[in-house]
Amino acid sequence: MPLMILAHPNIQQSAANRTIVEELKKSNIELEIRDIYNLNPNYNIDVIAEQEALLRHDFIILQYPMYWFNMPAILKVWFDQVFTYQFAYGSKGYKLKNKKLLPSLTVGQPERNFKLDEYSTRMDSLLDPIRKSVEYSKMNYIEPVILYEIATVYDVENVTGNTNSEIIEKAKIHSKTLQAAIQRYDKN
């Protein structure tokens, strides 16, 4: 059974991440979902509880919205405090070795805004800190599932707007893609 680390600082106001999670809950996929923002108030991470949760699962999904071309602060604090010496690495560490980790993120801007050229995207370098952290911990990085262009119509120029129902429709498709990834990677 996979573990989903949900990192959203305002899940009640969320359209995309909330729909993704609700759709997964409605599906017949079994997974543990940890809303780390609400489980760890004031960024006070319960390190033992978070580490124990990671140890219970072999497939971990990070579900979060892109904030300032990065992960939300709660997810960074979670990495800093949970991926510790002698747990994630070190002579008695590497406790997450061989587990799989898949980033699943929602992004306001369209995919074309990240294109460098026909073949490469800046998203790869933006996700590199996660990829490198996963590799450093001897885990396996699974190619991310990314939901682009979900800014509302009120967002900045250069962004194509979406209505709330369009965002929800896209998020449902994203959730289906995640379900397929879970079926593919959770057993292998």
**From CA 17, how far away is CA 121, in angstroms rounded?**
23
Binding mask 26-45 for ligand FMN (x = CB under 6 A): --------------------
What are φ and ψ of residue 182, in 5° steps?
-65, -45
Tell me the residue number closest to ligand FMN, measured at CB: 108
Determine the longest span between alpha carbons in the chain, in angstroms. 51
Q: Token pair 């074309």 is at which residue?
A: 112
17 binds ligand FMN (CB under 6 A): yes
Number of residues that bind ligand FMN (CB under 6 A): 16
Between 74 and 139, CB nearer to ligand FMN: 74
Q: Which of 62, 74, 107, 182 binds ligand FMN (CB under 6 A)?
A: 107
63 in contact with ligand FMN (CB under 6 A):
no
Place of tokens 């009120």: 154
Contacts of residue 126, defined as CB under 8 A and 6 or more positions apart, other chains included, come to 66, 69, 70, 114
CB-wise, 29 or 126, nearer to ligand FMN?
126
Residue 72 CB, shortest distance to ligand FMN, in Å, is 8
Q: Which stretch binds ligand FMN (CB under 6 A): 21-29, 65-73, 92-100, 131-139?
A: 65-73
Answer whether 165's CB lies under 8 Å from 12's CB: no
Q: Which of 108, 123, 146, 178 binds ligand FMN (CB under 6 A)?
A: 108
Instruction: Decide: helix, strand or coil at residue 64.
Output: strand
- Residue 136 Cβ, how far from ligand FMN at the closest point, in Å? 25
Distance CA 180, CA 186 (A): 10
Q: Is residue 68 a contact point for ligand FMN (CB under 6 A)?
A: yes
- Identify whether the C-beta of residue 83 lies closer than 8 Å to the C-beta of residue 130: no
Cβ proximity to ligand FMN, 14 vs 104, nearer residue: 14
Question: Cβ(79)–Cβ(129) under 8 Å?
Answer: no
Residue span 135-174 as binding mask against ligand FMN, x where in contact by CB under 6 A, dash where not? ---------------xx-----------------------
Rounded to whole angstroms, the Cα distance separating 62 from 174 reads: 14
